[in-house]
Amino acid sequence: MPHGKTERFRPSDTLQVREFTVTLYARFAAHLDSILDGMEERGQLPAALDRRAIAIEPPRDASHGDMAINAAMVLAKPAKTNPRALAELLVAELEKLDEVESVAIAGPGFLNLTLTRATWEAELNAIQAAGEDFGRSDLGAGLRVNVEYVSANPTGPMHMGHCRGAVVGDALATLLAYTGHQVTREYYVNDAGGQVQVLGRSAHVRYREALGETVEVPEGLYPGDYLVPVGQALAKEFGDRYVGAPEAEWLALFRTRAVAAMMDMIRDDLALLGIHHDLFSSEAQLQAAGKPEEAEATLRARDLIYDGVLEKPKGQADEEWEPVELPLFRSTQFGDDQDRPIKKSDGTWTYFGADMAYHYQKAATADQLIDIWGADHAGTVKRITAAVAALTGGKVPLDVKLIQMVRLLRDGEPVKMSKRSGNFVTLAEVVQEVGKDVVRFTMLTRKPDAQMDFDFAKVVEASKDNPVFYVQYAHARISSLGRRAAETFGELPAVDLSHLGTDEIALVKAAANFPRIVESAAKNREPHRVAFYLYDLAAAFHAWWNMGNDDPAKRVIVAEAPEVSAARLYLGRAVGQIIRNGLMLMGVAALTEMT
């Protein structure tokens, strides 16, 4: 396998065999395991203790050293000893490790390790050697993960309500690919329900308009002028053939054409955000292929679907309520409020009935399913997770990630949106106004289950208040260092890391934490953690940089000291590499200069 030239990172590219840098923390986990094994053999510990609660992590307070281990506290009770005694035994073993400078017992029984300087210098070299693969891992072990996100109804352009889920889903997919999962990015096209019928009728109105009629879009149809070109295309293709024709003659055709046009538009909108799905699955095709019937048969065989009558909804005055017998899924067995119909009384599938089959289909080629949904669909999570569990025998877990609402603000005032009037803020408008990178980064600066404000003024502000700018600025500064070093020195001397001081080593430690962040973000499926980490790393870098303001000898480029400059530049570039890697996971470009 050719080494040397780094190959370009592609989000969905995970199958190649790669060599991964074994991370510092993974090494110590292995060290600790063998130490504990040895203690078991010598009878210092009972055999087969549960080690899962043992954590090796950086201490919150740097004065506690580089690494904290809670093993003595976790194991003391099952080992029927006290944390202190166990800690003493562990200290003796840990001190034998080459990478360990010293070990202290602190607090209720923490083992605080201080690592040797050589260890941190090696970490810095590891970052440089691994480049864009520093942080990449085989955590997922090739597990096939299907991430379904966006899946906006094909009835109009993308609006800002779709944006957050799109970005979070995309970043999550990238993150999973980077951590060794085999990822499929999927979009479910809801082209079979009543809404696309309405779309077809709306297109017919625009079709008549294109043929010269003066039309008014009737109440209940889609008024947006994005259907005008669709009508024009239909007019050009079919002439006036369907003007006075009964709906049955043209509706299916117009619906199909309109959906295709809407999907083209949506794909373009998504491309503006750098989002490209691997697979678009059609609900209509799913139904035509008889998939819902298959799913129904499977569930009926397990007595999870029965024909029954739903109870009258409580607390609502509804004279229209009539008891009807429908095929119902026993979602109450899984904690849902009521059993859910999979078909309507007219015999067509409910959304849930088709969606259940759709997930069944996805599960056939995946080990895990992830859905990114808006929080307004929270009420339907139980029924679908229950159905997937039943259909797959629990073998393919479904994780539904709910994304909370985004409130758009302009000058501190909420921007009003109304889908019905067609008056909504489109994704394309926002991307055009503030830029792809700002939109993506901002959407990832809040955990998904918290609501969020998106203020047009604040997100483009060039100041420290704005994390997008702050992180980009750090990267741009690092890029400018390279240019300036070339101007100042031409050729730099070989890098000698002994020129780095404790401030610099502290920065190495911050940068070396990146793989842990990536791993935890992937495990928890929370890409926002990368954004917060990058902000912290950028802050550490800026602080280092600013030391040069007070003391010129602490600047990165010191004209009189090329050896020192070379070492500091090497460190700066490593930090830049980490920022690039993190931004790449977020789908955000790393700027080489601020404009």
Partner RNA sequence: GCGCCCGUAGCUCAGCUGGAUAGAGCACUCGCCUUCUAAGCGAGCGGUCACUGGUUCGAAUCCAGUCGGGCGCACCA
Distance between CA atoms of 423 and 426, rounded to whole angstroms?
A: 9
Stretch that binds RNA, among 11-19, 201-209, 292-300, 548-556 (CB under 7 A): 548-556
Residue with smaller CB distance to RNA, 7 or 593: 593
Contact region with RNA (CB under 7 A), list: 89-97, 228-236, 444-452, 574-582: 444-452
Residues 309-328 that bind RNA (CB under 7 A): 310, 313-316, 322, 324, 326
Query: What tokens appear for 287 in the block?
Result: 């139904």
Looking at 233, 253, 402, 417, which residue binds RNA (CB under 7 A)? 402
Pick the stretch among 170-178, 200-208, 371-379, 427-435 that binds RNA (CB under 7 A): 371-379
Q: Is 161 in the site for RNA (CB under 7 A)?
A: no
Joined tokens for residue 368: 């895990």
Residue 337 engages RNA in binding (rule: CB under 7 A): yes
- The 10 Å Cβ neighbour count of residue 13 is 13
| 575 SS3 class | helix
Least gap, CB of 189 to RNA (angstroms): 10
**Please, are residues 280 and 248 in contact by the beta-carbon 8 Å criterion?**
no
Stretch in the footprint of RNA (CB under 7 A) among 189-197, 241-249, 258-266, 363-371: 189-197
Considering the complex, what minimum distance in angstroms separates the CB of residue 110 from RNA?
Answer: 3
Residue type, 461: E
Residue 96 exposure: Cα atoms within 13 Å on the Cβ side: 8
Taking the CA atoms of the chain, what radius of gyration do you get in angstroms? 29
468-474-475 Cα angle (round to 5): 90
Question: Judged by CB under 7 A, which of 404, 426, 577, 581 binds RNA?
Answer: 404
Which parts of 500-529 interact with RNA (CB under 7 A)? 516-517, 520, 523-524, 526, 528-529
349 dihedral zone (left: phi>0; alpha: psi -120 to 50; beta) = beta
Shortest Cβ 366–RNA spacing (Å): 20
491 touching RNA, by CB under 7 A:
no
Question: Residue with structure tokens 């085989």?
Answer: 138
The reply to whether 294 sits near RNA by the rule CB under 7 A is no
* Binding of RNA by 359 (CB under 7 A): no
**What is the spatial distance between Cα 457 and Cα 92, in angstroms, rounded to a whole number?**
57
Kindly state the smallest distance separating residue 132's Cβ from RNA, in Å. Answer: 22
Could you say whether residue 302 binds RNA (CB under 7 A)?
A: no
Residues 68-107 that bind RNA (CB under 7 A): 68, 70, 73-74, 77, 106-107
Q: Is 547 in the site for RNA (CB under 7 A)?
A: yes
Nearest approach in angstroms of CB 294 to RNA is 19
**Shorter beta-carbon distance to RNA: residue 232 or 445:** 445
Binding test (CB under 7 A) with RNA, winner from 119, 184, 287, 350: 350
**In 3-state terms, what secondary structure has residue 344?**
coil
- Residues recorded for the chain: 595
Which amino acid, one-letter code, is at 595?
A: T
In whole angstroms, how far apart are CA 75 and each of 38, 55, 416, 427? Answer: 15, 12, 57, 53
Taking the C-alpha atoms of residue 296 and residue 549, their distance in angstroms, rounded to an integer, is: 70
Q: Of 109-128, which residues contact RNA (CB under 7 A)?
A: 109-110, 112
Judged by CB under 7 A, which of 16, 214, 418, 463 binds RNA? 463
- Select 164 or 554, whichever has its Cβ closest to RNA: 554
Contact range with RNA by CB under 7 A, out of 15-23, 162-170, 289-297, 547-555: 547-555
Q: Which helix (H) or strand (E) holds 282?
A: strand 279-282
Cα(230)–Cα(220) distance, integer angstroms: 19
Are the C-beta atoms of 111 and 90 separated by less than 8 Å?
Answer: yes
Among 88, 225, 237, 376, interactor with RNA by CB under 7 A = 376
Binding residues for RNA, total number by CB under 7 A: 97
- Comparison of 208 and 277: residue with beta carbon closer to RNA: 277
Which among 214, 148, 208 is positioned nearest to 176, based on CA atoms?
148
232 binds RNA (CB under 7 A): no
The answer to whether 217 touches 49, Cβ cutoff 8 Å, is: no
